[in-house]
């Protein structure tokens, strides 16, 4: 599920060439997930690494992770049962 989330998020990535000739990439629904590099391929690779790290830290800290393409990585509260 985590791999599919990363793949779907990367499909939403947006890239631009900056004035200095470097590439900038971001995944708009995921605040703080961005990268820059000399080539587009390096930018994509770095962006994927940033995304993976962002997810791991967010999940570990219990942050709410945005749902992408129906993939929900957030923990659901389990209903507790009480024995009578």
Domain CATH for 42: 3.30.160.250
Statement: residue 7 has pLDDT above 70: yes
What is the domain range of residue 39? Answer: 2-61
Residue 36 forms part of a structural domain? yes
Number of domains, the chain = 1
Residue 56 has pLDDT above 70, yes or no: yes
Q: Is 12 among the domain residues?
A: yes
Distance CA 32, CA 72 (A): 19
In-domain check, residue 9: yes
CA distance 14 to 16: 7
Average pLDDT, the chain: 92
Confidence check: pLDDT of 82 > 60: no
Q: What is the pLDDT, as a whole number, of residue 75? A: 77
Give the mean model confidence (pLDDT) for residues 68-80: 78
Measured CA to CA, the distance from residue 32 to residue 63 in angstroms comes to: 13
Residue 40's pLDDT band, with cuts at 50, 70 and 90, is: very high
Res. 79: pLDDT tops 90: no
Residue 67 forms part of a structural domain: no
Average pLDDT over residues 14-39: 97
Q: Domain for residue 68, yes or no?
A: no
Q: How big is the CA angle at 68 (ends 62 and 73), to the nearest 5 degrees? A: 30
Phi and psi at residue 18, in whole multiples of 5°?
-80, 170
């Amino acid at each position: 599920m985590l791999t599919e989330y990363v793949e779907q998020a990367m499909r939403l990535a947006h890239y631009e060439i900056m004035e200095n000739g470097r590439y900038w990439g971001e995944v708009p629904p995921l605040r703080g997930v961005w990268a820059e590099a000399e080539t587009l391929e390096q930018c994509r690779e770095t962006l994927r690494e940033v995304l993976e790290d962002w997810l791991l830290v967010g999940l570990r800290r219990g942050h709410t992770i945005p749902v992408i393409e129906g993939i929900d990585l957030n923990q659901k509260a389990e209903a507790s049962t009480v024995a009578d």
